[in-house]
Structure 1
Amino acid sequence: MDLTAIKDNITVCKVSDISEIDMTKDFFFLAKTNDEISLVCKTEQAPENCINREDGWKGFYIDGMLDFSMVGVLAKISTILAENGISIFSMSTYNTDYILVKEHKWGKAMSVLMKAGYKLKQ
């Protein structure tokens, strides 16, 4: 299975409202529940109204469109990383899954995934 690296540095944050989020940007994830509004975006695009913010993430996504009947794709990747002491932040879209790891664990994460047979496109 092929993975593609996200070139940008990523920030995960909690915001009080969505008024400062530029919905025209090319990359962001937004989740709103009864308890919070979470935003994942390029670090330089993080809004000033963050309640909490965690910088220093790098990410990749699984190439291609994942059919909803596919089982265990994210579980396999997360297990490989967990067994090597690497925590993740994951997000899913209609087409595929995105996985973030802390920047200081990026090299190790890519190494163990490649050893497991994944191919990484930069």
Structure 2
Amino acid sequence: MDLKRIDGLLTVCKLKSTADIDLSHDFYFIGKTDEEISLVCKNEDTPAETLESDDGWRAFRIQGTLDFSLIGILAKISSILAENKIGIFAVSTYNTDYILVKENSFEAALLALQKNGYNVL
């Protein structure tokens, strides 16, 4: 399975409102529930008004479109990383999954995945 590095550093944050999000930028994940509004974006695109934020994340995505009938893809990746004591923040889209790890663990995460048969692009 191929994994693609995502360029740049990311921020995970909690917002009071979506009004400050500039969707013209190229990389955003927005999650809204009855309890919170969460945002993942490039560090430089973090809105000025956040309730909480955590900078310094790196990401990779599982290449291709994943069929909904596929089982255990994210579980296997997260297990490999957990065995290597690397925490994750995962985000899923309609097409695929993105896995975020802290910048200081990024290369170790990719190496662990490569050792387990993943191809990193």
TM-score band, normalised by shorter chain: over 0.9
Show the counterpart of 1:28: 28
Within a 5 Å distance, the mapping from 1:26-65 to structure 2 comes to 26-65=26-65
Shift of 1:25: 1.6
SS of equivalent to 2:51:
strand
Mapped partners of 1:27, 1:2: distance in 2: 20
Q: Residue deviations 1:9-64, cap 9 Å, x none?
A: 10000010011101222110000111110000000000011100000100000000
Q: Report the TM-score when normalising by structure 2.
A: 0.98
2:87 maps to amino acid: S
Show the counterpart of 1:19: 19
Shift of 1:72: 0.3
Q: Report the TM-score when normalising by structure 1.
A: 0.98
Show the counterpart of 1:97: 97
Mapped partners of 1:111, 1:19: distance in 2: 39
Show the counterpart of 1:9: 9
Structure 1: 4+ residue segments shifted above 4 A: none
Structure 2: unaligned runs, 5 residues or longer: none
Q: Is the aligned partner of 1:80 residue 2:80?
A: yes
Mapped partners of 1:73, 1:18: distance in 2: 31
- The answer to which of 23-32 and 69-78 deviates more is 23-32
Mapped partners of 1:106, 1:91: distance in 2: 16
Mapped partners of 1:103, 1:76: distance in 2: 21
Mapped partners of 2:25, 2:107: distance in 1: 28
Mapped partners of 1:27, 1:109: distance in 2: 21
Shift of 1:87: 0.5
Mapped partners of 2:36, 2:88: distance in 1: 20
Task: Name the count of aligned residue pairs.
Answer: 121
